[in-house]
Amino acid sequence: MSFFTLASALGSAMESWVTAGVLVVMLAGMISGRMGADLVMLAGLSVLLLTGVVTASEAVSGFANPAVLTVGFLYIVATGLRETGALTILTRRLLGKPNSLAAAQIRLMAPVAIGSAFVNNTPIVAMLLPVLSGWAKRNKLSASALFMPLSFAAILGGMCTLIGTSTNLVVAELNLEAAANPAFAGVVTEQFGMFTLAKVGVPVAVAGLAFMVLMGRRLLPGVSEGQLSKADAREYMVAMRVESGAAIIGRTVEDAGLRSLPGLFLARIDRQDKSILAVAPEQTLRADDVLMFVGVLDSVVDLQKIRGLSPMTGAAGKDLAPRHQAKLIEVVVSHGSPLLGRTIREGAFRTRYNAVVIAAHRNGERLRKKIGDIQLRAGDTLLLEATPDFFERYRDSRDFFLVSQLPGSAAPRHRLAGVALAILGSMVVAITIDPSRAMVYAMAAALLMILCRCCNGPQARESVDWQVLVVIGTAFGFGHAMTNSGLASTIADVALGWAEPLGNWAVLAGVFFLTAIFTSVITNNAAAVLVFPIALEVAQRNDMPFMPLAVCVAIAASAGFSMPLGYQTNLMVMGPGGYRTGDFVRLGLPLTILVGIVCVTVVALTY
Residue 544 clears pLDDT 90, i.e. is over it: no
What type of residue sits at position 487?
A: L
> Rounded to whole angstroms, how far apart are CA atoms 480 and 482?
6
Residue with the bigger pLDDT between 33 and 603: it is: 603
pLDDT at 384: 84
Q: Which of 5-9, 153-157, 449-453, 591-595 has the lowest mean pLDDT?
A: 5-9
32 alpha-carbon distance from chain centroid: 23
The boundaries of the domain holding residue 311 are: 235-405
Closest alpha carbon to 236 in 286, 288, 283, 302:
302
Average pLDDT over every residue of 98-110: 86
Average pLDDT over every residue of 135-149: 80
At 200, the pLDDT band (50, 70, 90 cuts) reads very high
Average pLDDT over every residue of 515-541: 83
- Within a domain: 278: yes
Q: Which of 95-109, 124-138, 276-290, 412-426 has the lowest mean pLDDT?
A: 124-138
- Within a domain: 590: no
Closest alpha carbon to 118 in 168, 68, 158:
158
pLDDT at 206: 96
Residue 606 clears pLDDT 50, i.e. is over it: yes
CATH number of the domain residue 393 falls in: 3.30.70.1450
pLDDT at 604: 92
493 alpha-carbon distance from chain centroid: 38
Residue 286 clears pLDDT 90, i.e. is over it: no
Residue 106 clears pLDDT 70, i.e. is over it: yes
pLDDT at 232: 43
At 70, the pLDDT band (50, 70, 90 cuts) reads confident
- Within a domain: 605: no
- Within a domain: 304: yes
- Within a domain: 40: no
Q: What is the mean pLDDT of the chain?
A: 80
pLDDT at 548: 94
pLDDT at 393: 83
Q: Which of 127-141, 317-331, 334-348: highest mean pLDDT?
A: 334-348
For the entire predicted model, the pTM comes to: 0.64
Residue 226 clears pLDDT 70, i.e. is over it: no
Dihedral over Cα of 562, 568, 569, 573: its sign: positive
Q: CB within 8 A of 396, min separation 6: which ones?
A: none
pLDDT at 481: 83
- Within a domain: 267: yes
> Rounded to whole angstroms, how far apart are CA atoms 483 and 486?
5
Residue with the bigger pLDDT between 556 and 185: it is: 556
Containing H/E element for 274? strand 274-277
pLDDT at 217: 80
Q: Look at the chain and report how many structural domains it folds into.
A: 1
| Cα angle: 144, vertex 148, 153; to 5 degrees | 140
How many beta carbons lie within 10 A of that of residue 1, not counting itself? 7
Average pLDDT over every residue of 189-206: 92
Residue with the bigger pLDDT between 307 and 451: it is: 451
- Within a domain: 315: yes
Task: Kindly tell me the burial class for residue 355, based on how many C-beta atoms sit within 10 Å of its own C-beta (0-12, 13-18, 19 or more).
Answer: buried
> Rounded to whole angstroms, how far apart are CA atoms 243 and 416?
17
Q: Over the range 489-518, which residues count as b (16 or more CB within 10 Å of their CB) and which as e?
A: bbbbeebbeebbeeebeebbbbbbbbbbbb
pLDDT at 160: 94
325 alpha-carbon distance from chain centroid: 22
Q: What is the DSSP string of 549-576?
A: HHHHHHHHHH---SSGGG-HHHHHHHHH
Residue 408 clears pLDDT 70, i.e. is over it: no
CB 146 within 8 A of CB 108: yes
pLDDT at 464: 82
How many beta carbons lie within 10 A of that of residue 45, not counting itself? 26
CA distances to 184, 303, 367 from 295, rounded to whole Å, are 64, 10, 12
Average pLDDT over every residue of 510-535: 84
Residue with the bigger pLDDT between 410 and 2: it is: 410
At 365, the pLDDT band (50, 70, 90 cuts) reads low
At 148, the pLDDT band (50, 70, 90 cuts) reads very high
Q: Which of 31-35, 110-114, 583-587 has the lowest mean pLDDT?
A: 31-35
CB 185 within 8 A of CB 133: no
> Rounded to whole angstroms, how far apart are CA atoms 553 and 562?
17
pLDDT per residue over 463-495, tens digit each?
887 877 887 788 778 777 877 787 766 776 777
Task: Kindly tell me the burial class for residue 451, based on how many C-beta atoms sit within 10 Å of its own C-beta (0-12, 13-18, 19 or more).
Answer: exposed
- Within a domain: 170: no
pLDDT per residue over 25-56, tens digit each?
877 776 666 777 778 888 888 998 898 888 88
pLDDT at 10: 40
Q: Which of 173-182, 288-297, 389-398, 428-437: highest mean pLDDT?
A: 173-182
